[in-house]
Amino acid sequence: MKPRVAFFDFAGCEGCQLQIANMEDEILKLIEIVDIVSFREISDVHSGDYDIAFVEGSISRPMDEERLKDIREHADILVALGSCACLGGINKMRNRFDENELIESVYGDKKLVSNPFFNVHKAKSVDEVVKVDYYIPGCPIDRNEFKRFVISISSGKKPELPNYPVCVECKKKENPCLFDEGRLCLGPITLAGCNAICPSRGSPCIGCRGILEKPATECIEEIFQRYNIDYDDLKDKWNMFNFGDKIWRKE
Ligand code: SF4
Ligand code: SF4
Ligand code: SF4
């Protein structure tokens, strides 16, 4: 029997699900190996009977936590889909501010906090609320990585993420290093898997896939010293997707 998969969204732009919806012909191939029983972006069919839950978005409200726990209870496997779900992502940028003040400045009415739809807390990654079995990072996710993931899991294999930095993929593509142009790139500390898409198009990596599990700290420190990188600049850039997560030093 094919695994039944369902997609769920929380606080995010739904761009990760859109990546999957945009797979077009390839999505037909995926349907041969999994049954998609719930995917609001492409179908109004919904079943609460699923084996694998893909969860997109960060968790921002008590009502979201309850919904997520319910999803966890029903799923054999829960996968965090995209940086918002894996890391908290860009939603965590607001964690440095007071929630009530944010509500007032956005909606002009602090009293809205008594409404459960506006009752927000600090943004959380999915694994700050429930156990996560697998992570597919990226803002948005990489379609090919998603495809490889589904093929592995549906054939009973453990899906693997790369455990090396974006620089490896960048060097394989023989890109000139952006540090040599005086630009700050987070490729040395960021988990690969996107095929170095940003530096390959002339934009520095901004760390959307999160930090490497075991960064080669001495080597990376040497790179940052060689290019005279200010730690606060590094941290500012890092905070865009990884607010609250420690880099490896001075903390
Ligand atoms: S990770 Fe990026 S693309 Fe995916 S939902 Fe969050 S903001 Fe959107
Ligand atoms: S441009 Fe960025 S990702 Fe590419 S080699 Fe340089 S530091 Fe690494
Ligand atoms: S290069 Fe960096 S910012 Fe760009 S997609 Fe890859 S991990 Fe994300």
Q: Which of 17, 54, 56, 83 to mutate to test the pocket of ligand 1 (most atoms within 8 A of CB)?
A: 83
| β-bridge pairing 52-56 and 4-9 | parallel
Instruction: Tell me the angle at which helices 143-154 and 25-33 cross, rounded to the nearest 10 degrees.
Output: 20
What is the Å distance from ligand 1's center to 156 Cα? 28
* CB-CB contact of 236 with 186 (8 Å): no
What is the Cα–Cα distance from 231 to 209, expressed in whole angstroms? Answer: 20
**Which of 175-198 are b and which e, b meaning 16 or more Cβ less than 10 Å from the residue's Cβ?**
bebbbeeeebbbbbbbbbbbebbb
68 Cβ below 6 A of ligand 2 = no
SS3 readout for 99-121: HHHHHHHHHCCHHHHHCCCCCCC
Residues paired with residue 156 on neighbouring β-strands, in sequence order: none
- From ligand 1's centre to the CA of 16, what distance in Å? 6
The whole-model pTM stands at 0.93
**Which tokens sit at 167?**
């620089």
Ligand 2 proximity of 189 Cβ (cutoff 6 Å): no
Q: Please classify residue 119 by burial: count the beta carbons closer than 10 Å to its beta carbon, then call 0-12 exposed, 13-18 middle and 19+ buried.
A: middle
On the CB side of 22, CA atoms within 13 Å amount to 11
Taking the CA of 193 as reference, the closest ligand is 3
Q: What is the pLDDT along the chain (251 residues), one digit of tens a residue?
A: 899 999 999 999 999 999 999 998 888 888 899 999 999 988 888 999 999 999 999 999 999 999 999 999 999 999 999 999 999 999 999 999 988 888 888 888 777 778 888 888 999 999 999 999 999 999 999 999 999 999 999 988 999 889 899 999 999 999 999 999 989 999 999 999 999 999 999 999 999 999 887 777 788 888 888 988 888 888 888 899 988 776 654 44
Give me the helices (H) in 99-211, please. Answer: 99-107, 143-154, 166-172, 197-200
Residue-range domains of the chain with CATH: 4-154 (3.40.50.700), 166-242 (no CATH)
